[in-house]
């Protein structure tokens, strides 16, 4: 961009140079994404999974709750049961489709809640610093001192089985890492010159946070949160696998893995199906998060 | 630097205390009276009161906490509601079994992770790199309990070469270094190692790649140092980071092995935990979580201190 | 002498250092140690010194981005931060700062217009009026508003960004502009343009400048008076001619002799500075410069020299025992060096 500037008169443009329309940040991001086939592919897969979960009632061939003792554990490809039947004779395809709803909700919502709560805590701690920062971060550190699986199981074990309890448990597990990242980023940004300049212009703290800090913190924190979704899905299904999450007869991938486990000698491959979906979903979220990170050029 | 180490140790104490408070509190926020786990519903009032006194449920909560903590420090974790035997015994044997699994998984993780990660880092952008990265991402995305199941299906159900469950012949609960036990070890340890392989590979790759771009390596090349010697330099610089990751992984694996242990009915701490939750066996529950969490805290501290010794840049933090 | 627009008295800032097991305060970085000076309206005061001498801390103390431990800043006769003086917020409407790093001074997510208009809007100006002012300011600093108004910082060069930072500082219509190494990060040719812009703006808007830099040539070009700092203290202050033509403090002389010069006739006669500045945590006793001063004597370690006027005829003040006949120092610095 070779503009000729002279000190006290407006710059003279070379008219043959086309001045590119001011490309703001997001169009750059989209541009990079559109050239990343791997990320796009996984994004498409994810979209497919999401849509099939949302439209499960349209797509499912049978009632996921309808049992049939004769049809127990039919293998893949049986007439009327394209992906086989589970240990109670229910259609696998339907249960997998409907199961997606619960698995996805249980996987995504804890991260979403943790983002709000942990993000808020980290922002406050990072921006205010001092004793408030210490108080918040030390408390967070105590929770961080548990390995996440252990903490999830301990809290779930204490609260009891159930979808809501599992979501609460996982939210608590994810608040510390998100709070930490937010605090770290906020502290960095707070030290930057443009925040100082904003202070120097006499703005109040809340204004500064809203106008300058929030937009710049949101990016890295959001990316970090999306990378947690893949872990959350595995943990949520894992909790159900242990019997601490969804309760039967609700279809949910982790729970299905649990109940089908007894039947691996009879119908091994049907038993693996729910796990395949957990794997693909988690992998897709991971790849998507990675791709977004590269496109947004965030260095955490 | 000694002051740094001391400061880190002192700093850990309130955290550890906080951890114990959370563990103790968890049980008491649970719905339902802890009493119900130990008292049959139709017991006469005197028995109930006797039991209350025996377990100390009549004392105020902070006092109960103090008593529990005091005893735990001495190694007395109470008596299991379910088995009537000292919790410490069960934990001791469980910990050994889980350690076998965890250490095995870490060894595999370190070996493969360093190998693949280093290759990927050296040959950035090549097919080796892409393959390893893909493999690593898959490793952290795969639900390991499902993977265990798949391995069981392949090797036990279909091919019948490896046992599907348990730690040893006849439901053995004591580890021994014999071929039977080792056969039982294979599948669970492979399953558990997938996540550390993934994480260590990524970490090693990133570290190696970063070191190779650093100017001092290019200076070494310019001086005509042979690749072998350069490699040693790279290793020396990468070691602290890799060791740190590995150390953290051990602590994490110990706490996170529950899912794999459930799949394989491996009689470790995870298995105990599962049991304790469903039987609402409070002393066992508290004891197991306490031991696992403390171990994790301890490993973090050790890693922290070792890093500050090995990497002098860290010790001023 | 014109009445002072800005007056600094006994300003002090020590930064605590934590250490030991319990993170107690074990020592202090004596960043700024009781400095005092005045800036009349319309003047450019240059502040020079090595890295770590306290120049930037002084700038931040003036803007109240950090609070002083002791001392006062008096703006237009009113003490800053006191209820009977002027509030920090109001002071910031009249004194603004341009930072060194042009890139990190601007919010990467905010278009230029927003960055410039932010200050006025915060102080109550209508957004539409503020935006209009932003456009006018862009033109004033030599950038076509139509081209730059919606741009983002990463799309611009360092020189362009610094002009925008200047525009942003001017948006509040201040009386005083503090330029903290504002041109240090720019290429020389761009630096010249920006300096010329600053000179024109100062004339047009009747501004007062405090120009902080480690580049002695630039300071000479821009300043009316110059203040020399060393390890948190003022060692010499005077008009630009007094300082550059007849420096009296050994440090000032050494700094000037270390300046690369295109003139082969200018040979150094004073021994150049050796070594690194001592630690601001534990500064030398007495005169802080004595460990690097070729003329140091015992009295220099015992007594701290005060900033005193050279004579009644000149405005130059020096903090050195050699210029004070009654100090006990054996050498007397009354000749030209």
Which value does ipTM take for this structure? Answer: 0.84
Inside any domain, residue C335: no
- Comparing B224 with C148, the larger pLDDT belongs to C148
Q: Scan for tokens 């993000």, then name that residue.
A: A119
Please check whether residue B307 is in contact with residue B299, taking contact to mean a CB–CB distance below 8 angstroms.
Answer: no
In chain C, which residues have their Cβ closer than 8 Å to the Cβ of B6?
Answer: 21
Q: Give tens-digit pLDDT for A259-276.
A: 888 888 888 888 888 999
The per-residue pLDDT for A7 is 35
CA–CA min distance B181, chain A (Å):
22
DSSP bridge pairs for C47: C212, C227
In chain B, which residues have their Cβ closer than 8 Å to the Cβ of A242?
Answer: 258-259, 262, 274
In chain A, which residues have their Cβ closer than 8 Å to the Cβ of C210?
Answer: none
CB-CB under 8 Å, A154 with B289: yes
Which chain A residue has its CA at the smallest distance from B143's CA? A234
The per-residue pLDDT for C228 is 93
The per-residue pLDDT for A3 is 34
The per-residue pLDDT for C237 is 92
Average pLDDT over residues C67-77: 90
CB-CB under 8 Å, A238 with B158: no
CB-CB under 8 Å, C65 with A199: yes
In chain B, which residues have their Cβ closer than 8 Å to the Cβ of A272?
Answer: 146, 149-150, 153
Inside any domain, residue C127: no
Q: Is C259 on the interface with A (CB under 8 A)?
A: no
Average pLDDT over residues A57-78: 77
Q: Model confidence at B242, in pLDDT bands (50, 70, 90)?
A: confident
In chain C, which residues have their Cβ closer than 8 Å to the Cβ of B10?
Answer: 21-22
Q: What is the mean pLDDT of chain B?
A: 80
Inside any domain, residue C141: no
Inside any domain, residue C134: no
The per-residue pLDDT for C96 is 92
Phi and psi (nearest 5°) for C36?
A: -145, 135
- pLDDT value at B314 more than 50: no
The per-residue pLDDT for A169 is 94
The per-residue pLDDT for A206 is 83
In chain C, which residues have their Cβ closer than 8 Å to the Cβ of A134?
Answer: none
CA–CA min distance A9, chain B (Å):
45
Chains that touch B (3 or more CB pairs under 8 A): A, C
Q: Which of residues 136-165 of C touch A (CB under 8 A)?
A: 139-140, 142-145, 147, 150-152, 155-157, 159-160, 163, 165
Separation of first and last alpha carbons in chain C = 28
Task: Report the percent of chain C where pLDDT is more than 90.
Answer: 31
CB-CB under 8 Å, A238 with B30: no
CB-CB under 8 Å, C200 with A25: no
Give the C-alpha distances (Å, rounded to integers) separating A20 from A14, C79, C145, C150. 13, 50, 15, 12
Please check whether residue A282 is in contact with residue A234, taking contact to mean a CB–CB distance below 8 angstroms.
Answer: yes
Q: Model confidence at B93, in pLDDT bands (50, 70, 90)?
A: confident
Q: Is C63 on the interface with A (CB under 8 A)?
A: yes
The per-residue pLDDT for A279 is 93
- CA atoms within 13 A of residue B52's CA, in its CB half-sphere: 12
Pairing state between β C70-75 and C44-48: unpaired
In chain A, which residues have their Cβ closer than 8 Å to the Cβ of C155?
Answer: 1, 22-23
In chain B, which residues have their Cβ closer than 8 Å to the Cβ of C20?
Answer: 3, 7
CA–CA min distance A277, chain B (Å):
10
CA–CA min distance C243, chain A (Å):
30
- pLDDT value at A247 more than 70: yes
Average pLDDT over residues C35-40: 91
- pLDDT value at C302 more than 80: yes
CA–CA min distance A139, chain B (Å):
8
Q: Is C24 on the interface with B (CB under 8 A)?
A: no
Separation of first and last alpha carbons in chain A = 30
Q: Model confidence at C19, in pLDDT bands (50, 70, 90)?
A: low
- pLDDT value at C214 more than 70: yes
Instruction: Assign domain A107-300 to its CATH superfamily.
Output: MetI-like (1.10.3720.10)
Token digits of residue B262: 């459930």
**CA–CA gap between residue A296 and residue A159 (Å, rounded):** 39
CB-CB under 8 Å, C155 with A25: no
CB-CB under 8 Å, C21 with B6: yes
Inside any domain, residue C56: yes
DSSP bridge pairs for C180: C212
Inside any domain, residue C229: yes
Q: Where are the alpha helices (DSSP H) in chain A?
A: 25-34, 37-54, 56-59, 92-128, 130-144, 148-159, 163-190, 193-200, 205-208, 214-242, 253-261, 268-296
- pLDDT value at B156 more than 70: yes
Q: Model confidence at C229, in pLDDT bands (50, 70, 90)?
A: very high
CA–CA min distance C276, chain B (Å):
22
CB-CB under 8 Å, B289 with A150: yes
CA–CA min distance A183, chain C (Å):
19
Q: Is B7 on the interface with C (CB under 8 A)?
A: yes
In chain C, which residues have their Cβ closer than 8 Å to the Cβ of A193?
Answer: 99-101, 104-105
- Which one of A160, A237, A276 has the shortest CB-CB distance to B31? A160
In chain A, which residues have their Cβ closer than 8 Å to the Cβ of B263?
Answer: 261
CB-CB under 8 Å, C193 with A194: no
- pLDDT value at A6 more than 60: no
For residue C9, the enclosing domain spans 4-109+152-327
In chain B, which residues have their Cβ closer than 8 Å to the Cβ of A139?
Answer: 18
The per-residue pLDDT for B315 is 41
CB-CB under 8 Å, A149 with B259: yes
Q: Give tens-digit pLDDT for C149-174.
A: 888 888 888 889 999 999 999 999 99
- pLDDT value at A13 more than 60: no
- pLDDT value at C279 more than 90: no
Q: Give tens-digit pLDDT for A118-155.
A: 999 999 998 888 888 989 998 999 998 888 888 999 89
Number of domains into which chain C is organized: 1
CB-CB under 8 Å, A244 with B277: yes
- pLDDT value at A10 more than 60: no
Q: Scan for tokens 């498409």, then name that residue.
A: A44
Chains that touch A (3 or more CB pairs under 8 A): B, C
Q: Give tens-digit pLDDT for A150-189.
A: 899 989 888 888 899 999 999 999 999 999 999 999 988 8
Chains that touch C (3 or more CB pairs under 8 A): A, B
**CA–CA gap between residue A208 and residue A193 (Å, rounded):** 13
Please check whether residue C174 is in contact with residue C96, taking contact to mean a CB–CB distance below 8 angstroms.
Answer: yes
Parse chain A into domains and list their residue ranges.
107-300
Phi and psi (nearest 5°) for C151?
A: -75, 165
Give the C-alpha distances (Å, rounded to integers) separating C223 from A131, B174, C229. 43, 84, 15
**CA–CA gap between residue A256 and residue A247 (Å, rounded):** 10
Q: Model confidence at B311, in pLDDT bands (50, 70, 90)?
A: low
The per-residue pLDDT for C225 is 93
Average pLDDT over residues A193-222: 85
- pTM of the predicted structure, to 2 decimals: 0.80
- Candidate from A224-233, B7-16, B55-64, B286-295 with smallest mean pLDDT: B55-64
**What count of CB pairs under 8 Å joins A to C?**
104
The per-residue pLDDT for A127 is 87
Interface residues on A facing C, Cβ-Cβ cutoff 8 A = 1, 3, 5-11, 13, 19, 22-25, 192-194, 196-204, 207, 211-212, 215-216
Average pLDDT over residues C180-194: 89
Pick the most confident of A7-21, A28-42, B165-179. A28-42
The per-residue pLDDT for A20 is 37
Pick the most confident of B51-60, C213-222, C253-262, C286-295. C213-222
**CA–CA gap between residue A159 and residue A136 (Å, rounded):** 24
**CA–CA gap between residue B224 and residue B216 (Å, rounded):** 13
Q: Model confidence at C21, in pLDDT bands (50, 70, 90)?
A: low
The per-residue pLDDT for B31 is 66
In chain C, which residues have their Cβ closer than 8 Å to the Cβ of B3?
Answer: 19-21
Write the CATH number for C265: 3.40.50.300
Q: Cα Rg for chain B, rounded, in angstroms? A: 24
Q: What is the mean pLDDT of chain C?
A: 86
Q: Give tens-digit pLDDT for C94-111.
A: 999 999 888 888 888 888
**CA–CA gap between residue B184 and residue B195 (Å, rounded):** 20
DSSP track, B226-253: -HHHHHHHHHHHHHHHHHHHHHHHHHHH
Which chain A residue has its CA at the smallest distance from C150's CA? A22
Which chain A residue has its CA at the smallest distance from B28's CA? A158
- pLDDT value at C336 more than 50: no
In chain B, which residues have their Cβ closer than 8 Å to the Cβ of A290?
Answer: 137
**CA–CA gap between residue A256 and residue A262 (Å, rounded):** 11
Q: Model confidence at A4, in pLDDT bands (50, 70, 90)?
A: very low
- pLDDT value at A278 more than 90: yes
CA–CA min distance A288, chain B (Å):
12
In chain B, which residues have their Cβ closer than 8 Å to the Cβ of C22?
Answer: 7, 10
Taking the CA atoms of A183, A184, A188 and A189 in sequence, report the sign of the dihedral they define: negative
Task: Report the percent of chain C where pLDDT is more than 70.
Answer: 91
Mutate to test the interface with B, among C17, C19, C21, C26 (most CBs of B within 10 A): C21
């Amino acid at each position: 961009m070779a503009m000729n500037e002279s000190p006290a008169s407006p710059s003279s443009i070379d008219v043959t140079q086309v001045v590119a329309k001011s490309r703001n940040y997001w169009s750059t991001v989209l541009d990079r994404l559109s050239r990343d086939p791997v990320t796009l592919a996984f994004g498409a897969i994810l979209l497919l999974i999401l849509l099939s979960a949302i439209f499960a009632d349209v797509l499912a061939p049978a009632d996921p709750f309808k049992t049939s003792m004769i049809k127990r554990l039919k293998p893949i490809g049986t007439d009327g049961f394209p992906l086989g039947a589970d240990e109670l004779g229910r259609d696998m395809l339907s249960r997998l489709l409907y199961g997606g709803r619960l698995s996805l909700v249980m996987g995504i919502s804890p991260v979403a809640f943790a983002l709000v709560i942990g993000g808020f805590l980290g922002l406050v701690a990072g921006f205010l610093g001092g004793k408030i920062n210490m108080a918040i971060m030390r408390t967070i550190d105590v929770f961080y001192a548990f390995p996440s699986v252990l903490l999830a199981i301990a809290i779930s074990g204490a609260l009891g089985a159930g979808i809501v309890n599992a979501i609460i448990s996982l939210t608590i597990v994810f608040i510390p890492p998100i709070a930490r990242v937010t605090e770290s980023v906020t502290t960095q940004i707070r030290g930057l010159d443009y925040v100082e300049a904003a202070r120097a212009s006499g703005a109040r703290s809340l204004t500064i946070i809203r106008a300058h800090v929030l937009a710049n913190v949101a990016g890295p924190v959001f990316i970090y949160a999306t990378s947690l979704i893949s872990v959350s899905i595995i943990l949520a299904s894992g909790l159900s696998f242990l019997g601490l999450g969804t309760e039967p007869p609700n279809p949910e991938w982790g729970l299905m893995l649990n109940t089908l486990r007894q039947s691996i000698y009879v119908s091994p491959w049907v038993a693996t199906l729910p796990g395949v979906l957990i794997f693909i979903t988690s992998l897709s979220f991971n790849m998507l998060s990675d791709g977004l990170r590269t496109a947004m050029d965030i260095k955490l | 630097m000694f002051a740094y180490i001391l400061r880190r140790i002192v700093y850990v104490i309130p955290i550890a205390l906080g951890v114990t408070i959370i563990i103790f509190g968890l049980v008491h926020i649970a719905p339902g009276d802890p009493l119900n786990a130990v008292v049959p519903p139709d017991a006469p009032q005197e028995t109930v009161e006797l039991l209350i006194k025996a377990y100390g449920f009549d004392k105020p909560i902070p006092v109960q906490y103090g008593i529990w903590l005091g005893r735990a420090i001495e190694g007395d974790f109470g008596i299991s509601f379910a088995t009537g035997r000292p919790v410490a015994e069960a934990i001791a044997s469980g910990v050994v079994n889980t350690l076998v699994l965890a250490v095995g998984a870490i060894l595999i993780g370190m070996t493969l992770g360093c190998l693949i990660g280093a290759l990927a880092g050296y040959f950035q952008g090549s097919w080796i790199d892409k393959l390893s990265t893909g493999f690593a991402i898959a490793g952290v995305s795969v639900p390991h309990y499902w993977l265990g199941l798949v391995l069981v299906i392949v090797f036990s159900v279909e091919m019948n070469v490896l046992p599907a469950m348990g730690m040893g012949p006849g439901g053995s609960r004591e580890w021994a270094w014999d071929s039977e036990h080792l056969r039982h070890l294979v599948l669970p340890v492979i399953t558990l190692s997938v996540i550390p392989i993934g994480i260590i590979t990524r970490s090693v790759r990133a570290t190696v790649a970063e070191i190779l771009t650093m100017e001092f390596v290019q200076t070494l090349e310019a001086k005509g140092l042979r690749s072998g010697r350069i490699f040693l330099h790279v290793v020396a610089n990468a070691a602290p980071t890799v060791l740190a990751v590995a150390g953290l992984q051990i602590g994490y694996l110990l706490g996170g092995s529950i899912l794999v242990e459930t799949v394989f009915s491996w009689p470790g701490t995870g298995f105990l935990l599962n049991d304790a939750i469903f039987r609402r066996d409070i002393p066992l529950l508290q004891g197991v979580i306490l031991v696992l969490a403390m171990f994790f805290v301890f490993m973090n501290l050790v890693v922290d201190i070792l890093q500050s010794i090995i990497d002098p840049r860290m010790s001023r933090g | 002498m014109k009445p002072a627009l800005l007056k600094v008295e006994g300003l002090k800032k020590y930064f605590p250092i934590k250490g030991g097991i319990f993170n107690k305060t074990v020592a202090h970085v004596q960043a700024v140690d009781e400095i005092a000076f005045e800036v009349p309206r319309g003047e450019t005061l240059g502040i020079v010194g090595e890295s770590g001498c306290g120049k930037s801390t002084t700038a931040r103390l003036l803007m109240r981005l950090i609070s002083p431990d002791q001392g006062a800043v008096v703006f237009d006769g009113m003490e800053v931060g006191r209820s009977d003086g002027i509030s920090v917020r109001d002071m910031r409407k009249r004194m603004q700062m341009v930072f060194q790093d042009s890139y990190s001074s601007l919010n990467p997510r905010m278009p230029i217009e927003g960055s410039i208009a932010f200050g006025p809007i915060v102080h109550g100006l209508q957004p539409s009026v503020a935006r209009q002012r932003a456009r006018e300011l862009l033109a004033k600093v030599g950038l076509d508003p139509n081209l730059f108004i919606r741009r983002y910082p990463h799309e611009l060069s360092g020189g362009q960004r610094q002009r925008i930072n200047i525009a942003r500082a001017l948006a509040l219509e201040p009386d005083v502009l503090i330029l903290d190494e504002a041109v240090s990060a720019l290429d020389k040719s761009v630096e010249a343009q920006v300096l010329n812009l600053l000179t024109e703006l100062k004339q047009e808007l009747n501004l007062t400048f405090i120009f902080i830099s480690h580049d002695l040539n630039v300071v000479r070009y821009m300043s009316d008076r110059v203040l020399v700092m060393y390890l948190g203290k003022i060692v010499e202050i005077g008009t630009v001619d007094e300082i550059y033509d007849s420096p009296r403090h050994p440090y000032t002389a050494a700094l000037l002799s270390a300046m690369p010069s295109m003139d082969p006739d200018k040979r150094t006669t004073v021994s150049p500075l050796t070594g690194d500045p001592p630690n601001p945590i534990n500064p030398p006793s007495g005169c802080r410069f004595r460990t690097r001063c070729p003329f140091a004597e015992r009295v220099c370690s015992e007594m701290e020299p005060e900033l005193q006027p050279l004579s009644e005829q000149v405005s130059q003040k020096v903090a050195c025992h050699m210029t004070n006949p009654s100090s006990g120092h054996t050498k007397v610095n009354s000749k030209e060096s």
